[in-house]
Structure 1
Amino acid sequence: MDTPRIAVWKFASCDGCQLSLLDCEEELLDLVGAVHIAHFLEASSRVEGGPYDISFVEGSITTAADAERIEAIRAASRLLVTIGACATAGGIQALRNSRALGDLVQAVYPAPDLIKVLETSTPISEHVTVDAELRGCPVSRHQLLEFVAAALAGRKPDLPDVSQCAECKRAGTVCVMVAHGTPCLGPVTRAGCGNLCPRVGRGCYGCFGPVDGANCAALSEQMRKLGLDTTAIAALYRNFNSGAAAFVEEAARHD
C-alpha cells in the first residue's frame, strides 16, 4: 500500500505494548519514513481523524464506553490489528472473570458505588472483527515491524505458529521441565518471545497465549507428576492470558 495511515489506540492496559513499538528506536525512524502516523497519543499529541489503513489496538474492553469506542475505531479502520495479551485475550485484568465482580469491587475500592465497569474484561475480538492478532505480554517489537513491513509489501506476515518448545529447540535451550523438573507452559504456549525465560532456567509463563491446538490436559498431567496440586496447576493458567479460551477451560478443570 502507498504510505499507509497508521493509528495506535489504547484501552484497559499498562501501555507496555505501545512502548514496545516506541522501543523500535532506529527501526522506528525508518518506519516513520514509510508510513504516516495519524494517531498515536503515546508518541505525539497530534491527532488526525480517519479513515486509517491500519489501526493497532492495545488493551481489553472493560467498560461500556470502551465497547462503544472500539466500534467507532473499527468503522474507521481498513485493517484492525490487536496487539498484546490484553487486546487478544482480556489481559491480566481478565482474572476477575472467574470471580464475583461485586465482591472484588467491595474489597478494593473505598467507594464501590462509583465504579462502573462491565462484568468481564474481554478481548477486542469479542466486540468487533479483528484482521490480525499479535500476541505477547508485551507484544514483540519484531512482530510489529514484520506486520507493517508485510503490509507495505503486500504479503502475508511471517508470524510464529508453533509452540515455545520449538523456539527453545531451535535455540539449543535445554528443556527446564525435563532436565530440572521446573513447571513450564512452553508446550502449550505460542512462540514469539525468543524463549526468554527457559534460556535462563525458568519455566515459560505463557505470555504469548495458547498455541493453536494446545493440549493443556496432557501438560497438566505432567505437572501433576512433578508434584503440583490442583490449585497450583490452575494458577499456572491464570496469568497474563487468563482470558484465553484454552487456559480458561484448563484452569476451571482444576478448581
Structure 2
Amino acid sequence: MSTPDKLINFAKRPKIAVHKFSSCDGCQLALINDAVSLLELATMVDIVHFAEAGPLDEFAEVDLAIIEGSVNTHHDVHRIEMVRAKAKYVLSVGACALTGGIQALRNFTDEKELRHWQHDVYPEETEVIIEGDLATAKPISAYVKVDFELPGCPINTGQILRAIRQILFGVEPEKNVDPVCTTCKHAGVTCVMVAKNEPCLGPVVADGCDAICPKLGRGCYGCYGPAKYANMDAMIAKLKEMGLSDEQIKHKFHHINSQAITFHGVVARTISQ
C-alpha cells in the first residue's frame, strides 16, 4: 500500500465502481445504509457501477474500483482481472476481500469433507460445490495488484467514505494500527479476560469497530484482522493459561480472517510447538 502516485483528473468528475465477489454484501451495505452520505458522495463522483444500488456497467473505465468479497471461481478470476485492467486504483474492502473471509475456512479441508458438511446442512439435491469452483477461497490481492485495503467485517460507513475522499485527494487511507484493547482502556471498558475469564482477541486485533464486543461484555473475535504490532506468542500463552486447548486456540484464529498471515502462519507455528 502506498500514497496515490497517479493524480485523479478533477476536470471531469471521478468515476467509481463498486464490485461484489463472494461475500454477504455487508460492506456494500455500509455505503447504502447511510443514504444522506451516499447522496453527498454522488455530488462528488459518478458512480457508474454498483449493482446493489442500481447502476450497471461492470467493466467501465473508472478512477476507483471498490471490491468486496473473495475469489472462489475461475469466473471470478476473469472478472477481477478485467476490473483491475479498467481501474486506476483498486480498493479492497472487508475481511473477504483482504483475507478470504469466512468462506476461506474451506481452505483447511478437502472436497470430500465439504460434501459431507453440505449434506448435513442442505437438501440432498443441493450441490454447493459446482464445476468451475477453485480449490480455495482467496483474497483479491492473490490475483491482482491492490492499491489500498480497508479491513473489517463489515467495514462501517465512516470508514469507506473517509477512504474514498482520501484517495480522491491523493492521500493514502488511514489505517488502524492500535489493538482493540486501546479503545477499551480509553473508554473505561472493563477487560472481559480479567473480570470474566473470557477469551478475548483484543490484544492482537486491530481496532476499527470501537470495541463493540467488549463494550457488550463479550470477547473480541477478530473482525478487523491482526493489529500491526500483535504479539501472537504472548496471546497464545495467555489463552493456554486460561485453559484453552491447542484446538480451541486454533479455532479462535481460524475464523473471519483465517488467511491473514499473522493468524494463519504464526498460530500454526506456535501451536505445533
Q: TM-score range by the shorter chain?
A: over 0.9
1:25 aligns with 2:41: no
Equivalent residue, structure 2, for 1:80:
90
What is the identity, as a one-letter code, of the residue corresponding to 1:108?
A: Q
Distance in 2 of aligned mates of 1:181 and 1:22:
38
Report the Cα offset of residue 45 of structure 1.
4.1
What residue ranges of structure 1 are gaps of 5+ in the alignment? none
Distance in 1 between the 2:128 and 2:220 partners?
Answer: 36
Alignment of 1:15-94 (within 5 A): 15-47=25-57, 49-94=59-104
| Counterpart residue identity of residue 128, structure 1 | V
Provide closer, same or farther for how the CA distance between residues 113 and 32 of structure 1 changes in structure 2, counting only shifts above 3 A. closer
Take 2:231 and 2:27, find their aligned partners in 1: how far apart are those partners?
Answer: 28
What CA deviation, in whole Å up to 9, does each residue of 1:68-112 have, x standing for no partner?
110110010011000100000000011111111333135416457
From the superposition, tell whether residues 155 and 200 of structure 1 become closer, same or farther in structure 2 (CA, over 3 Å): same
How far is 1:115 from its partner? Answer: 4.0
Runs in 1 of length 4+ with deviation above 6 angstroms?
none
Q: 1:152 aligns to what?
A: 168
Letter in 1 for 2:16: I
176, 200, 205: which one pairs with 1:184?
A: 200
2:23 maps to 13
Task: Give 1:156 deviation, angstroms.
Answer: 3.1
How many pairs does the alignment contain? Answer: 255
1:136 corresponding residue in structure 2: 152
CA distance in 2, matches of 1:228, 1:126: 33
| AA in 2 matched with 1:99 | T
Q: RMSD over aligned Cα, in angstroms?
A: 1.8
Deviation at 1:212, TM superposition (A): 2.2
Q: Tell me the TM-score normalized by structure 1.
A: 0.93
Structure 2 spans left out of the alignment, 5+ residues: 1-7
Q: State yes or no: 1:223 paired with 2:239.
A: yes
User: Is 2:114 the partner of 1:104?
Assistant: yes
Q: Given the alignment, which residue of 196, 211, 214 partners 2:230?
A: 214
Task: Return the letter of the residue paired with 1:190.
Answer: A
Output the CA distance in 2 between the equivalents of 1:46 and 1:112: 27
Identity within the alignment, %: 42
Moved more, 94-103 or 111-120: 111-120
Q: 2:215 aligns with which of 180, 193, 199?
A: 199
